Amino acid sequence: MTNSAKHRLTRREVLGGAGAMTAAAVISQRAAADDMPGVTATEIKIGQTMPYSGNASAYGAIGRTELALFKMINDQGGINGRKLNLISVDDGYLPPRTVEQTRRLVEQEGVAFMFNTLGTPTNTAIHKYLNMKKVPQLFVATGADKWGDYKHYPWTMGWQPSYRIEAQIYAKYILQNLPGAKVGILYQNDDFGKDYVNGMKDIFGDRFDKLVVKAVSYESTDPTIDSQIVTLQSSGANVFVNITIPKFGAQAIRKVYDLGWRPTHFITNVSASVGAVIKPAGVEKAVGIISGVYLKDNTDPAWANDPGMNEWRAFMSKYMPGADLNDVNHVFGYGCGLTLVQVLKQCGNDLSRANIMRQAANLHDLDVKILLPGIKVNTSPTNYHPIRQLQLAKWNGKTWERFGEILSATAT
Cα four-point dihedral sign 170, 160, 129, 245: positive
Percent of the chain scoring above 90 in pLDDT: 85
Candidates 214, 158, 213, 223; CA nearest to 191 is 158
Whether the per-residue pLDDT at 246 is higher than 70: the answer is: yes
Whether the per-residue pLDDT at 369 is higher than 90: the answer is: yes
Question: pLDDT category, 35, cuts 50, 70, 90?
Answer: confident
Question: Residue 5: its pLDDT value, please?
Answer: 43
Question: pLDDT category, 280, cuts 50, 70, 90?
Answer: very high
Question: Residue 302: its pLDDT value, please?
Answer: 94
* Mean pLDDT value of segment 359-370: 97
Q: What is the pLDDT of residues 171-196, one digit of tens each?
A: 999 999 999 999 999 999 998 999 99
Question: pLDDT category, 409, cuts 50, 70, 90?
Answer: low
Whether the per-residue pLDDT at 26 is higher than 60: the answer is: no
Whether the per-residue pLDDT at 61 is higher than 80: the answer is: yes
Whether the per-residue pLDDT at 7 is higher than 60: the answer is: no
- Was domain 163-293+394-408 assigned CATH 3.40.50.2300? yes
What's the whole-number average pLDDT of the chain? 91
The interaxial angle of helices 328-347 and 353-360, nearest 10 deg, is 120
Q: What's 365's DSSP letter?
A: S
Question: pLDDT category, 21, cuts 50, 70, 90?
Answer: very low
Query: Residue 370 half-sphere exposure, CB side, CA atoms within 13 Å?
Result: 22
Please give the distance of CA 306 from its chain centroid, rounded to a whole number. 24
Question: Residue 397: its pLDDT value, please?
Answer: 96
Question: Residue 191: its pLDDT value, please?
Answer: 87
Candidates 122, 119, 146, 150; CA nearest to 136 is 150
Q: What is the pLDDT of residues 112-125, one digit of tens each?
A: 999 999 999 999 99
Candidates 335, 284, 344; CA nearest to 83 is 344
Whether the per-residue pLDDT at 296 is higher than 50: the answer is: yes
Enclosing H/E stretch for 184: strand 183-188
Record: fold of 43-161+302-381: Rossmann fold (3.40.50)
**DSSP codes, 260-296:** T---EEEE-GGG--IIIIIHHH-GGGGTT-EEEE-B-
Enclosing H/E stretch for 215: strand 212-218
Higher per-residue pLDDT: 151 or 9:
151
Q: What is the pLDDT of residues 303-349, one digit of tens each?
A: 999 999 999 999 999 999 999 999 999 999 999 999 999 999 999 99
Question: Residue 16: its pLDDT value, please?
Answer: 40
Question: Residue 407: its pLDDT value, please?
Answer: 85
Taking residue 24's Cβ as centre, other Cβ atoms within 10 Å add up to 10
What are the residue ranges of CATH 3.40.50.2300 in the chain? 43-161+302-381, 163-293+394-408
Question: Residue 194: its pLDDT value, please?
Answer: 94
- Alpha helix (H) ranges present in 161-302? 163-177, 191-204, 208-211, 226-234, 246-259, 279-281
Whether the per-residue pLDDT at 20 is higher than 60: the answer is: no
Whether the per-residue pLDDT at 145 is higher than 70: the answer is: yes
* Mean pLDDT value of segment 46-61: 95
Q: What is the pLDDT of residues 191-230, one digit of tens each?
A: 899 999 999 999 999 999 999 999 999 998 999 999 999 9
114: three-class secondary structure by DSSP:
strand
Whether the per-residue pLDDT at 29 is higher than 60: the answer is: no
Question: Residue 357: its pLDDT value, please?
Answer: 98
| Residue 190 to residue 198: CA distance in whole angstroms | 12
State the virtual CA torsion across 138, 89, 319, 398 in degrees, nearest 10: -80
| Residue 159 to residue 384: CA distance in whole angstroms | 8
Question: Residue 408: its pLDDT value, please?
Answer: 77
Whether the per-residue pLDDT at 6 is higher than 80: the answer is: no
Pairing of strands 290-293, 389-395: antiparallel
Whether the per-residue pLDDT at 82 is higher than 50: the answer is: yes
